[in-house]
C-alpha cells in the first residue's frame, strides 16, 4: 500500500486533528451551564485515573508486579512533594534497580 | 479572525519558559515510546519519510502503534483511518475542558496549540495551578513534547536496534509516573479528585475486559461517567482550584 500510505497518514492526521481543534476553536461556550462547567473541570482528574489504570500494570507483559512497583515508587515520590521530573526519574531508577535483583 | 490586531495577551518569555520546563517530563517519557515506534515502523516496512511523517502529521502515540500493526496486517485505508478516529476522539473532551481554562487567545493561535493536545500535554496543562492557561505556556509545553516525539521516531528508525532491554523496560514507567505525579498533589487536597480518578480507573479496568471497548472508547466512557456522576454526587468539596 506504499504509494497510498502517505495519503492514509494524512487522513489519520485530519481525523486526529478535528477532535483536538473543534471545541477549543469553534465552539462558542461562553455561557455554559455551571453544571457543564463543573463536569469539564472534572475531566482532567477522571482522565488521569483512566490513563493510569489499568495501563500501568501492562508495561511489562510478563509481570503485573513490575508496573505496581514503579507506580508505588512514583506515588511515594509524589507524596513527598518531589517535582514531576524527579518523580519520573525516581520511578525509572527504582525499576532499573529492580531488574537487577 | 479577531477584530483587533490580536496578539496573545500573555506572550511573555516567562510563560514560554514555564511551558518548556513543564514539558520536560513528557519529553523523557516520549523518548522510549517514540524510539520504539521508529523501530517498529521500520520492521513494518515503512520508509523513514513515512515514519517521521506520521509522527509529524498525526502526533498520537497509541494510534500510531495500532496503525503499524494494521499496516503490517494489510488492513484497508478506511479501516485504518476510522480506527485512528475512534482512538483519538477522546481529545474532544480534553479540548473542551481546556477551553474552560485557556486564555481568550485568537483563533489561529488556538488552532495551533489544539494540534499539540495529547493525553500527556493535556494532563500537565490541566493540572497546572495557574488560574488561566496562556497560549505561550501551551506552545512551550506542546512543542517540547512534539519535537521529542518527532526526533526520536526518526532516531529509532535510523538506529534500527532496541535500547538495552533493562533500560527500555524501566523507562516504560515514565509517562505513568508523570500521571501519578500530576494526580497526587491534587488528590491530597481534594476528596473529589480521589473520587474522580478512582471511579474512572475502576470503570476503565472493567471496560478493558470488554474487547469492543478496548481501543479508545473505554477511556472516553469511564472519564465521562466519572466526571458526570461525581458532579452530581459530590458538591462543594473542590478545594483544588
**Residue pLDDT, tens place only, B58-112:** 999 889 998 998 888 888 899 899 989 988 999 999 999 999 888 888 999 999 9
| Whole-Å CA distances, A56 to A7, B64, B186, B238 | 34, 19, 20, 27
Q: What is the reported pLDDT for B100? A: 86
Structural domains counted in chain A: 1
| Number of neighbouring beta carbons within 10 Å of residue B31 | 19
Q: Do A12 and B54 touch (CB under 8 A)?
A: yes
Write phi, then psi, for B200 (nearest 5 degrees).
-65, -40
C-alpha grid cell for residue B56?
A: 509529524
Place of cell 519519510: B49
Same domain, B36 and B66: yes
Chain A, chain B: beta-carbon pairs less than 8 Å apart? 290
Residue B8 lies in a domain: no
Give the B window 168-227 contacts with A, CB below 8 Å: 169-174, 176-188, 192-193, 196-205, 208, 218-219, 222-224, 226-227
Q: Are B164 and B214 in contact (CB under 8 A)?
A: no
Residue B168 lies in a domain: yes
SS3 content of chain A, % helix, strand, coil (to 5): 80, 0, 20
Residues from chain B contacting residue A77 (CB–CB below 8 Å): 177, 181
Buried/exposed code over A62-99 (b: 16+ C-beta within 10 A; e: otherwise): eeeebbebbbebbbbbbeeebebbbbbbbbbebbeebe
The residue from B126, B147, B175 where one domain ends is B175
Place of cell 522510549: B32
- Across A14-35, average pLDDT: 88
Residue B2 lies in a domain: no
A20 touches chain B (CB under 8 A): yes
The residue from B175, B203, B228 where one domain ends is B175
CA distance B139 to B114: 9
Domain that holds residue A78: 2-99
Residue B170 lies in a domain: yes
Domain that holds residue B133: 13-175
Give B24→chain A minimum CA distance, Å: 7
Q: Do B123 and A48 touch (CB under 8 A)?
A: yes
Same domain, B197 and B167: no
The residue from B119, B148, B175 where one domain ends is B175
Q: Rg of the Cα trace of chain B?
A: 19
A101 touches chain B (CB under 8 A): no
Q: Are B240 and B186 in contact (CB under 8 A)?
A: yes
pTM of the entire predicted model: 0.86
Q: Do A59 and B199 touch (CB under 8 A)?
A: no
Structural domains counted in chain B: 2
Q: What is the reported pLDDT for B11? A: 61
B2 touches chain A (CB under 8 A): no
Write phi, then psi, for B9 (nearest 5 degrees).
-65, -45
- Asked whether the ipTM of the predicted complex exceeds the cut of 0.95, the reply is no
Give A78→chain B minimum CA distance, Å: 5
Amino acid at each position: 500500500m506504499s504509494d497510498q500510505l502517505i495519503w492514509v497518514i494524512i487522513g489519520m492526521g485530519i481525523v486526529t486533528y478535528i477532535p483536538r481543534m473543534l471545541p477549543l476553536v469553534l465552539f462558542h461556550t461562553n455561557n455554559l451551564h455551571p453544571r457543564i462547567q463543573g463536569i469539564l473541570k472534572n475531566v482532567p482528574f477522571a482522565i488521569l485515573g483512566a490513563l493510569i489504570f489499568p495501563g500501568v500494570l501492562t508495561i511489562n507483559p510478563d509481570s503485573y508486579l513490575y508496573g505496581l512497583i514503579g507506580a508505588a515508587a512514583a506515588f511515594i515520590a509524589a507524596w513527598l512533594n518531589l517535582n514531576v521530573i524527579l518523580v519520573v526519574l525516581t520511578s525509572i531508577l527504582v525499576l532499573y534497580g529492580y531488574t537487577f535483583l | 479572525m479577531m477584530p483587533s490586531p490580536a496578539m496573545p495577551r500573555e506572550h511573555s518569555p516567562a510563560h514560554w519558559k514555564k511551558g518548556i520546563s513543564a514539558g520536560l517530563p513528557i519529553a523523557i517519557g516520549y523518548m522510549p515510546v517514540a524510539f520504539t515506534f521508529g523501530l517498529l515502523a521500520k520492521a513494518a516496512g515503512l520508509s523513514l519519510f513515512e515514519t517521521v511523517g506520521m509522527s509529524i502529521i498525526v502526533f498520537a502515540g497509541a494510534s500510531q502503534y495500532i496503525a503499524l500493526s494494521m499496516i503490517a496486517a494489510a488492513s484497508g485505508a478506511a479501516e485504518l483511518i476510522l480506527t485512528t478516529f475512534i482512538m483519538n476522539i477522546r481529545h474532544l473532551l480534553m479540548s473542551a475542558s481546556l477551553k474552560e481554562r485557556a486564555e481568550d487567545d485568537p483563533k489561529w493561535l488556538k488552532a495551533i496549540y489544539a494540534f499539540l493536545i495529547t493525553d500527556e500535554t493535556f494532563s500537565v496543562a490541566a493540572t497546572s495551578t495557574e488560574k488561566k492557561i496562556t497560549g505561550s505556556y501551551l506552545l512551550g509545553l506542546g512543542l517540547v513534547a512534539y519535537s521529542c516525539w518527532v526526533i526520536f521516531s526518526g532516531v529509532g528508525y535510523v538506529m534500527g536496534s532496541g535500547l538495552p532491554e533493562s533500560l527500555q523496560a524501566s523507562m516504560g514507567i515514565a509517562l505513568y509516573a508523570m500521571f501519578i505525579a500530576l494526580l497526587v498533589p491534587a488528590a491530597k487536597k481534594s476528596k473529589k479528585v480521589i473520587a474522580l480518578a478512582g471511579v474512572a480507573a475502576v470503570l476503565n479496568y472493567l471496560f478493558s475486559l470488554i474487547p469492543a471497548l478496548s481501543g479508545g472508547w473505554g477511556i472516553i466512557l469511564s472519564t465521562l461517567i466519572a466526571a458526570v456522576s461525581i458532579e452530581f454526587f459530590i458538591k462543594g468539596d473542590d478545594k483544588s482550584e
